[in-house]
Structure 1
């Protein structure tokens, strides 16, 4: 008799799809809609990006209480309500008329982001998978990685026939239809609720089988007192700063080197396009290597990318930099999620992950501002990229220092 697939695979496949939709609507659509919004409303670009930055900041601030809720109650109710809130706020976004309303809407979208983007989805995967966690995270993050590929062209195409307010109403409908029912109907609390163990083993069989494989876990309090937590916080904070700094300043840095617009566009496309293949590769390799080892090696790969940018100042060096940094950044997303589970276990995964997110949010908010100050002071991007290289090297060293804590 053929055995039915483990229900966790249905959950992670669904989450890959809903993450693509959620990221596409409430994150990537913003950049496409920015120019038509600015043209109609007449506000400065700083006001528009300020609202978006506020949402990112709030999503990090509430990550810890959201994590505690996930550990105690599971993701089903939170992600369903988060999708409802996001859809309602996208409708409000479509009707915005004042700056006060703009900031209030994005403050609310920050709460929705914390409830429906990667962090709660990672917590679900950590609960449902152990030995096959890297594979599950690959499915999830490849789905999320397709958000820009699907929704940036979609929103651009819709803007050809509709105004930006009408586009947002369509996006709100898409978000509601494609995420609310799936979160509400497919998500479940824990494998044990269905009589299963993580990865699909039978709980009934495990009760009569000696020494079932159960991953040890730490509480949030014990995790915060462990040195490995702070090494991870340092590494995650520095890699986050490097990634967000690059996102803001890459095109300006390329322009400063005098490259043609076509080369600039190709470099940006390669940086984004290399992330999905790297996640697929890491999904295969990651099952055989300890997550700590993978993580510090990926940080070294990013360091090598910055070194190439600095010391190979030609088109080949630029394009190689884009490929290597994009691959490292893409593969780090699922690896970081798996690393937290490997080091601290899954019993309070969401709370610990939320505490780390709270710390990395500060790095994410400060990175573009501090980078702009440095460039303005030195009138060159070379020192900035040298600093980013150093930050990735420190991240690799910090993760290496906890190599003995991973279960692999």
Structure 2
């Protein structure tokens, strides 16, 4: 009888395409939905019940959650090195264990310091199970067709809130927040542990060899290069603006007289827009250079933010704007996933993507506090959105200069002409 637990692989092609584990892509789709849904999206659903039951302040519990995101940013750089050398199986399986343990600590914590400790461990799990290691796996295994695989897994990941936010709310209506987290911890372990341990066992392809053509793309050289530093700056500013918009859209609409249900629907429609945007990215990637599409997408995000600042209604127009903004956000997720390979190849993808993700993850962690804190001094949420639009515009200008010097020599003439003169 055939061993159903044995890994099944596709054969490597004569052209050198890496061996691909057939089970990896569906497994990563499933684990991204589960990991994001439980480790990230369950918290905002449960936090009101947590604060009501414990007496801890919402600021304190949210700070613990943000600390997890900061740990994820810092540890992602080290995890990237391991991914480059050994592949995703050990990292993501260990992340499943850490996430399960972290949730158990959170659920049973008798005081705020232990609650925070649980979130710090969960932050390590986030770095080990979220998009970064999944992207590293698919980029190495699926090259040169990795954009299609990345699109599929991000489409699945986009369903995390759709699946787990209502499921968490339903559980919380029947159980305490502690029992709800224990149930979710069991689900996380049952789904992600076997999937990561069994489906990611394919041989890890060797890194592309260093050649004369890419001799300037050593990890250190790239990380210290002007294009990389500008790219990190642009994506960090964009992430700060984007996540601040997400967390303050509901207050903006409430201040303009819309109901809580209307505001929630507008936010949810942004999630639908993200799914739409991710289906369009492959076409955009084929027709534009990396620097051009980075600048255009960040600029479009800024334009959508400015529209929210300037347009008070009617509601259908605001709903359409939310979908448009979500479409841009969906593209930006894939843009960051492919930013390294588009410019410097796959050789040091794990390490470089970890470096690139660290400041953007930090910015997303700070966004909830910064948005609320800045709205008052700036004169209200419309003025906050206007300021965020200015930040996005600056990021788009920076992104225009993120092409490595050699990139333009490979572009068709019509695409070279779209670049700044000094980059042609």
112-121 or 157-166, which moves further after superposition? Answer: 157-166
Q: Check whether the contact 1:135–1:284 (CA below 8 A) recurs between aligned residues.
A: no
Pairwise CA distance, 1:15? 0.9
Q: Match of 2:60?
A: 47
Q: Residue 182 of structure 1 aligns to a residue in which SS?
A: helix
Partners of 1:134 and 1:335 within 8 A in 2: no
Are the structure 2 counterparts of residues 116 and 215 from structure 1 closer, same or farther at C-alpha, using a change threshold of 3 Å? farther
Aligned residues: 389
- Residues 343-352 or 355-364, more deviating: 355-364
What is the alpha-carbon distance in structure 2 between the residues aligned to residue 222 and residue 13 of structure 1? 35
Q: Secondary structure at the match of 1:259?
A: coil
Name the structure 2 match of 1:218: 217
Alignment partner, residue 392 of structure 1: 392
Q: Is the 8 A contact 1:24 1:147 kept in 2?
A: yes
Determine if the alignment matches structure 1 residue 312 to structure 2 residue 319: no
User: In 2, distance between residues paired with 1:55 and 1:114?
Assistant: 9
Q: Which residue among 111, 118, 122 is the counterpart of 1:98? A: 111
Please report how far the alpha carbon of residue 9 of structure 1 lies from its aligned counterpart in structure 2 after TM superposition: 5.1
How far 1:169 moved relative to its partner?
A: 1.9
Structure 1 residue runs without a partner (length 5+): 199-211
Matched, 1:242 2:255: no
Alignment pair present for 1:158 and 2:171: yes
Contact 1:137–1:283 (8 Å) recurs in 2: no
Q: Distance in 2 between matches of 1:258 and 1:44?
A: 27
In structure 2, what is the equivalent of residue 30 of structure 1? 43
Over residues 299-330 of structure 1, what are the superposed CA-to-partner deviations in whole Å (9 max), with x where a residue is unaligned? 12212212322333212442232111111011
State the Cα distance separating 1:77 from its structure 2 match: 0.7
Deviation of residue 116 (structure 1)?
0.9
Call closer, same or farther: CA 1:362–1:147 in 2, change over 3 Å.
closer
TM-score, length of structure 1 as denominator length:
0.88
2:20 is aligned to 7
Structure 1 equivalent of residue 327 of structure 2: 327
Does 37-46 or 100-109 show the bigger shift? 37-46
> 1:113-152 residue pairs with structure 2 within 5 A?
113-152=126-165
User: CA shift at 1:151, angstroms?
Assistant: 0.8
Q: Structure 2: how far apart are the matches of 1:79 and 1:54? A: 21
Question: Post-superposition shift, 1:79?
Answer: 0.8
1:6-405 residue pairs with structure 2 within 5 A? 7-8=20-21, 10-188=23-201, 192=205, 218-315=217-314, 316-403=316-403
Residues 248/227 of structure 1: CA separation in 2 closer, same or farther (3 Å cut): same
Q: Distance in 1 between matches of 2:216 and 2:155?
A: 27
Indicate the SS of the match to 2:258.
Answer: coil
State the distance in 1 between where 2:124 and 2:349 align.
20
Question: Structure 1, residues 6-51: CA drift from partner, whole Å, max 9, x if none?
Answer: 6255322211111111011111111111122222212111121111
Q: Report the secondary structure of 1:286's partner residue.
A: helix
Counterpart-to-counterpart distance in 2, 1:308 and 1:129? 39
The answer to whether the 8 A contact 1:55-1:107 is kept is: yes
Q: Aligned partners of 1:351 and 1:44: how far apart in 2?
A: 37
Q: Quick check: 2:296–2:396 contact (8 Å CA) kept in 1?
A: yes
CA distance in 2, matches of 1:216, 1:293: 25
TM-score, length-normalised on structure 2? Answer: 0.85
Deviations 1:87-144 (A, max 9, x none): 1221222212111110111111111111111111111122123331211110111111
Change (3 A) 1:222 1:4: closer
Query: Structure 2 vs 1, CA of residues 89 and 260 (structure 1 numbering), >3 Å: closer, same or farther?
Result: closer
Deviates more, 1:248-257 or 1:182-191: 182-191
Q: d(CA) in 1 for partners of 2:226 and 2:275? A: 32
Query: 2: distance between equivalents of 1:216 and 1:20?
Result: 38
Question: 1:378, 1:308 → 2: CA distance?
Answer: 17
Q: Secondary structure at the match of 2:355?
A: helix
Unaligned runs of 5+ in 2: 1-8, 12-18, 412-424
Report the equivalent of 1:205: none
